[in-house]
Homo-oligomer: A and B are copies of this chain.
Amino acid sequence: MDAPLARHTLLELHGCDAALLNAPGDLKALLLEAVRRGHGTIVTDVFHTFSPHGVSGVVVIAESHVAVHTWPEHGYAAVDIFSCGSTLDHAAIRDWIRAGLRADRVESRELTRG
């Protein structure tokens, strides 16, 4: 059997700072810095704020993508870290985002793709 082509980490972050989850500029800065700390190469990003609340953000990286969707009313954020190759440090990205969002509790699933 061939090695998987990509790794995918799915994070459920609970008990986050609700104001941060509704601040697209802060979320963008947090995700971009997390990607840098994971040694990712940023290609582009898009962040969108929903009415009445919530933000969706995707950072396209040379290794694939990091995405966040937030539910400020639940103090919850879903984060996906998807990468081909073995260079992206998923744990470093997770830890930076977890600390930045001040999450009380994080569930992590590690899947392979391809």
Check A71–B5 contact: CB distance below 8 A: yes
A6 touches B69 (CB 8 A): yes
A67 touching B65 in the complex, CB below 8 Å, given contacts A114-B12, A114-B76: yes
Give the oligomeric copy count. 2
Tell which of A50, A74, A80, A113 has the most Cβ of chain B within 10 Å: A113
Chain B hits for A84, CB < 8 A:
69, 71
A-B contact pairs, 23 of them (CB 8 A): A6-B69, A6-B78, A8-B78, A10-B111, A12-B113, A12-B114, A44-B48, A46-B46, A46-B58, A48-B60, A56-B65, A58-B58, A58-B60, A58-B65, A65-B69, A67-B67, A67-B82, A71-B84, A71-B114, A76-B114, A78-B113, A80-B80, A109-B111
**New A-B contacts (12) at CB < 8 Å, excluding given A43-B48, A78-B82, A78-B113:** A5-B74, A5-B78, A6-B69, A6-B78, A8-B78, A10-B111, A10-B113, A43-B56, A46-B46, A46-B58, A50-B62, A65-B69
